[in-house]
């Protein structure tokens, strides 16, 4: 399943995985989120509800471009740098292109919607 992330004039696309958590996330779309920087590694945002973790692994090791759900906090994370293994991190999908737009300082307002 493809999604589109629009931040001002920049449009990114991503491909979601076929898992319960990603399907639950897709069911929330469209969403407008304020992504804030976390640990100079990822942009994060709270979600309106917790996502299913049914069948999810206990954690994962994210790479730049990964879109994930951090179950302990119930937030979305989009990585612009590689990071170490994190318990409770569930991959939702991956950006199809460059992550440069996410490196911008400060919060970024992003509209996330299913791609047509």
At 4-49, the pLDDT tens digits run: 999 888 999 999 999 999 999 999 999 999 999 999 999 999 999 9
Q: Where are the domains of the chain?
A: 2-114
Q: Are 41 and 3 in contact (CB under 8 A)?
A: no
* Residue-by-residue DSSP string for the chain: -EEEEEETTEEEEEEE-SSHHHHHHHHH-SEEEEEEEETTTEEEEE-SSPPP-TT--SEE---TTEEEEETTTTEEEEESS----EETEEEEEEESS--GGGGSSS-EEEEEEE--
Tokens of 21: 């958590």
| Preceding omega of 16 cis (within 30 degrees of 0) | no
What CATH number matches the domain at 2-114, 1.20.120.1200, 2.40.100.20, 3.40.50.300, 3.40.50.970? 2.40.100.20
Q: Whose structure tokens read 């970024």?
A: 108
Mean pLDDT, to the nearest integer, of 100-112? 88
Mean pLDDT, to the nearest integer, of 67-92? 97
Task: Please report the pLDDT score of residue 62 as a whole number.
Answer: 98
Task: Please report the pLDDT score of residue 44 as a whole number.
Answer: 97
């Amino acid at each position: 399943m493809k999604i589109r992330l629009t931040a001002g004039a920049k449009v990114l696309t991503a491909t979601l995985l076929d898992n319960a958590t990603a399907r639950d996330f897709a069911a929330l779309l469209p969403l407008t989120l304020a992504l804030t920087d976390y640990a100079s590694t990822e942009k994060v945002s709270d979600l309106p509800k917790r996502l299913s973790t049914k069948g999810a692994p206990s954690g994962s090791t994210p790479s730049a471009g990964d879109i994930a759900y951090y179950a302990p906090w119930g937030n979305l994370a989009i990585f612009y740098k590689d990071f170490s293994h994190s318990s409770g991190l569930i991959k939702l999908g991956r950006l199809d292109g460059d992550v440069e737009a996410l490196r911008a300082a400060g919060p970024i307002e992003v509209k996330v919607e299913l791609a047509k």
